[in-house]
Amino acid sequence: MNIGICGAGTVSGGLVRLLSKNEQLLEARIGKPINIVQIGSRNKPSQPEFEAFAFTDDVFEVAKNPSVDVLIELIGGTDDALALVRMALQAGKSVVTANKALIAQHGEELFQLAEQQGQQLVFEAAVAGSIPIIKVMRESLAGNEIGAVVGIINGTTNFILSQMSKPGSTVSFEQALAEAQELGYAEADPTFDVEGLDAAHKLTILSAIAFGTRLSFDAIYTQGIGEVQVEDIRFAGELGYRLRHLGITRIGPDGVELRVHPTLIDENEMLAQVDDVMNAVMVLSDAASQTLHCGPGAGAGPTASSVLSDLVDLCRGATIPAMGFLPGQAVDLPVLGIEQCRSHFYLRLRVADRSGVLSRITRILGDFDISIEALLQKDPVNDIATIVITTDQVVEETMNTAIQKLESSGDVLESVTLIRIFDFGE
């Protein structure tokens, strides 16, 4: 099998090293060698692992190269990458990519093109690095009806929240982010990660595979972790919760939930044990029940591992539908707006320290049929008391209306802090 690699960065370097290190193993597994016939990137790489291969500074040459059977797209982004993948498919080459943004935003078009051309477009590395979650859902769980997929799918945000959540921690979001940058876990511009866009791309892909729907990146609700306060992590901890930045997709009678946001989960849940830069994806399905898939979500080796697994599939002649459903079978299900989603909620309120406040607050919530599950009242500081409430499940629109009522009641002094709670049993 002759391959051309586009991009000469982190993942490409990992792939080249892995192909060389495990050359014999791979040949024993697939019965033929994998030859790198060309590497393309906009600048000639200085890393020694690339030296042995023919190089071009025009990635489109790789797509046109008649000796290349499979193009590995590792340049990232959605402009040149889209043109490159289109060109490779049109030239009769299958494509392996690690590019979540490309698949989430342009997958519909590209899978159709691949189908027309009788080629494959595969993307295991696009979601959760080393974790073979695409194959798990598409293949190992193919006999199941999947009800929900919930995951920690961005290592940067998980690292930051882990630092902020350590016992007795006073580390702010900004401090934890600076540490993540020092350790190389966050980019100099961390926007994509901390605002949840990276996770949104990944969840869009997972949701479409889980439920056989179209890729609905435009409809996803995304909230990052920049507003998270350490005191909320601490108060929620007192009530038995851990905070995670989760991607949640769930199917119900009214449509599909598709949302990325900071979420409280019971401290005994498996996902609550996943710390630092690790990723983990839980799939809830009818026969297999709850399965948790955990591993490094980024880095040269872990990501190359997934790229290579796709390549091995292609070498073996596997022809599994890229999104797990036969072409033409994807259904259009409505994606629920966040206001239509039902959740339990954590609320933190700053209130004037005067008599009767608590009963007035509970009465307002009661007027909206919102049941309180737990309540913490903190000692007042400068005549301002902090009240933390967790509620039973309620539609978010109702909760928002109740919060508006609370905020205009005269007792509540600041905007109410709201964090959604996810209950795996419901």
Interface with ligand NAP, residue 299, by CB under 6 A:
yes
Distances (CA, A) of 397 to 128, 216, 221, 245, 401: 32, 22, 14, 21, 6
Contacts of 104 (CB under 8 A, 6+ apart): 200, 201, 202, 204, 205, 215, 217
Comparing CB distances to ligand NAP, the nearer of 103 and 399 is: 103
Comparing CB distances to ligand NAP, the nearer of 125 and 402 is: 125
Secondary structure element (H or E) that encloses residue 373, with its range: strand 372-381
* Residue selected from 34, 88, 120, 129 as contacting ligand NAP according to rule CB under 6 A: 129
**What is the contact mask toward ligand NAP in residues 242 to 281, using x (rule: CB under 6 A)?**
----------------------------------------
Interface with ligand NAP, residue 151, by CB under 6 A:
no
**DSSP-assigned letter for residue 356:** T
Interface with ligand NAP, residue 107, by CB under 6 A:
no
Q: Residue 58: CA atoms inside 13 Å, Cβ hemisphere, count?
A: 5
For ligand NAP, which stretch binds (CB under 6 A), given 40-48, 186-194, 256-264, 370-378? 40-48
In the complex, least distance from residue 17 CB atom to ligand NAP, rounded to whole angstroms: 13
Comparing CB distances to ligand NAP, the nearer of 159 and 345 is: 159
Burial-class residue 116 by CB neighbours within 10 Å (0-12, 13-18, 19+): exposed
Interface with ligand NAP, residue 296, by CB under 6 A:
no
Q: Per the residue annotation, which of 100, 202, 378, 405 is the catalytic one?
A: 202
Interface with ligand NAP, residue 282, by CB under 6 A:
no
Contacts of 241 (CB under 8 A, 6+ apart): 264, 265, 266, 267, 346, 390, 421
Query: Residue 38: helix, strand or coil by DSSP?
Result: strand
Comparing CB distances to ligand NAP, the nearer of 281 and 385 is: 281
For ligand NAP, which stretch binds (CB under 6 A), given 1-9, 23-31, 219-227, 256-264? 1-9
Site for ligand NAP (CB under 6 A): how many residues? 23
In the complex, least distance from residue 14 CB atom to ligand NAP, rounded to whole angstroms: 8
Give all strands (DSSP E) within 203-360, no chain letters. 221-222, 241-252, 255-266, 278-285, 289-296, 342-352
Residue listed under structure tokens 């989603």: 341
Comparing CB distances to ligand NAP, the nearer of 74 and 199 is: 74
Secondary structure element (H or E) that encloses residue 381, with its range: strand 372-381
Q: Is 202 a catalytic residue?
A: yes
In the complex, least distance from residue 55 CB atom to ligand NAP, rounded to whole angstroms: 11
CB atoms within 10 A of CB 126: 25
Interface with ligand NAP, residue 125, by CB under 6 A:
yes
> Strands across the sheet with 94-97, in order?
55-56, 35-40, 2-6, 70-73, 94-97, 121-122
Interface with ligand NAP, residue 309, by CB under 6 A:
no
* Residue selected from 2, 9, 49, 395 as contacting ligand NAP according to rule CB under 6 A: 9
Query: What are the b/e assignments for 75-89, b being 16+ CB within 10 Å?
Result: bbeeeebbebbbbbb
Range 85-104, binding ligand NAP (CB under 6 A): 98-100
Interface with ligand NAP, residue 210, by CB under 6 A:
no
Interface with ligand NAP, residue 132, by CB under 6 A:
no
Interface with ligand NAP, residue 417, by CB under 6 A:
no
Interface with ligand NAP, residue 8, by CB under 6 A:
yes
Interface with ligand NAP, residue 156, by CB under 6 A:
no
Smallest CA-to-CA distance from 77 within 201, 188, 194 is with: 201
Interface with ligand NAP, residue 7, by CB under 6 A:
yes
Interface with ligand NAP, residue 308, by CB under 6 A:
no
State residue 250 phi and psi, 5-degree precision.
-145, 140
Distances (CA, A) of 139 to 144, 254, 290: 10, 27, 16
Interface with ligand NAP, residue 75, by CB under 6 A:
yes
In the complex, least distance from residue 11 CB atom to ligand NAP, rounded to whole angstroms: 4
Question: Distance between CA 172 and CA 160 in Å, rounded?
Answer: 9
* Residue selected from 1, 19, 26, 59 as contacting ligand NAP according to rule CB under 6 A: 59
Which residues in this chain contact ligand NAP in the complex, by CB under 6 A? 7-12, 41-43, 59, 74-77, 80, 98-100, 125, 129, 298-299, 303
Catalytic residue IDs: 202
